Amino acid sequence: MENQTAEKLEARGKEFVLPNGKLFVSYATAEVGIALFTAATDLLSKSSISKGTPDSELFVLLNSNEIIRKLVMEECSKSASYNSRKVNSMLFNDPHIGNKACKDYAAIFTAIFAWNFSRFSSGSSA
């Protein structure tokens, strides 16, 4: 029974505990997910990134690509919340939680990307 509950929660999304807060990510629409998967796969195939590359280097590569950054932080983020607040540009400017969110930006981006990318990549999970 406990396993079924975990599966139902994972079907809705996944919670990530970050250094300064909690992030809950649900899947973006299939169209957005496919666009993200296609753009990321294309970028990664043209880069020198390999399986053993540290997450920090992967983040820099993905975040520096305007298309991927917009897909993650403008489209996929519509299905994400950080400490119960929607993930959008206003979150990072919020006087009460903005500084924490800014400190967690790389982790927020990476978690949203990984959760949505994994939906379309075979044999992997976020």
Number of domains in the chain: 1
DSSP letters spanning 45-90: HTS---TT--HHHHHHHHHTSHHHHHIIIIIGGGGEEETTEE-SHH
pLDDT at 121: 85
Domain of residue 43: give its range: 29-118
Task: Give tens-digit pLDDT for 7-60.
Answer: 454 567 999 999 999 999 999 999 999 999 999 999 999 998 887 888 889 999
Task: Give tens-digit pLDDT for 59-99.
Answer: 999 999 999 999 999 999 999 999 999 999 999 999 999 99
In a domain, 42, yes or no: yes
In a domain, 74, yes or no: yes
DSSP letters spanning 99-123: HHHHHTHHHHHHHHHHHHHHTTSTT
pLDDT, the chain, mean: 89
pLDDT at 125: 46
pLDDT at 126: 47
In a domain, 58, yes or no: yes
pLDDT at 43: 96
In a domain, 126, yes or no: no
In a domain, 57, yes or no: yes
Give residue 83's region: left, alpha or beta (phi > 0; psi -120 to 50).
Answer: left
Q: What is the rounded distance in angstroms from the CA atom of residue 73 to the CA atom of residue 64?
A: 12
In a domain, 104, yes or no: yes
In a domain, 63, yes or no: yes
Task: Give tens-digit pLDDT for 106-120.
Answer: 999 999 999 999 999
Whether residue 124 has pLDDT greater than 90: no
